[in-house]
Structure 1
Amino acid sequence: MNPTEPLKKKGGRPPSTQKRDQQMTVLLTKLEKLAIQKRAEKAGLNLSDYGRQIILTGKAQARLSPEENATLNQVARLGSNLNQIAHKAHADGIRSIALEAHRLLQQLSQLLDKPADV
């Protein structure tokens, strides 16, 4: 490797600074294990993550569904557009952005009024 060449960065998530190297064993009946597995599956978590959350916090934070993620992404994009509109309003005056702001508010209203799947 040439010292003048820049180092290539590795992609992906950086390694965790905390290693999980301790283990606990819990004895369960088949029914108890099935019940816990179903709850973990419903929360969208693997058994280890589900159990860890339950033990440490008393509840498990369920992962967002793909539909919820898509909605959040759309809201974030609308927020970016709204921020750009605000910058334009400051530069060019408020009247220059009225129609675009109204359109974005309608889109945001439609996204937030979607019925939640339960």
Structure 2
Amino acid sequence: MIGKRIQKLRLERGLSLSDVADRAGVAKSYLSTIERDIQKNPSISFIEKVAAVLGVAPQDLLQHHDEEPLDADWVAILQEARKSGVTKEQLEEFLAFTKWKLDKQKSADVL
């Protein structure tokens, strides 16, 4: 989870929640909810700010250790989507629809 990665990096650097929040210009309470996985979908802007404070690339916070890292093309696509005004909710809805459509096609192929 992204919150646990942020917390791990923060603690490795000897930074408090207040340190990171102040330096990143984000609310300490919001950072805390992210770290505790209460809030699980931070904005790209939030991720970029926190990553800069922690001295890592934003994709380092986004990727799972067991997953292949995002390449530059994926990062560029996500950045373009954000610049174009696509919301996280719209992207999630598109992904859910695409998964549903693929599952439906697979089911039809089996029949």
In the superposition, the TM-score normalised over structure 2's length comes to 0.32
Higher relative contact order (CA 8 A, sep 6+): 2
Q: Which entry has the higher C-alpha Rg, 1 or 2? A: 1
In the superposition, the TM-score normalised over structure 1's length comes to 0.30
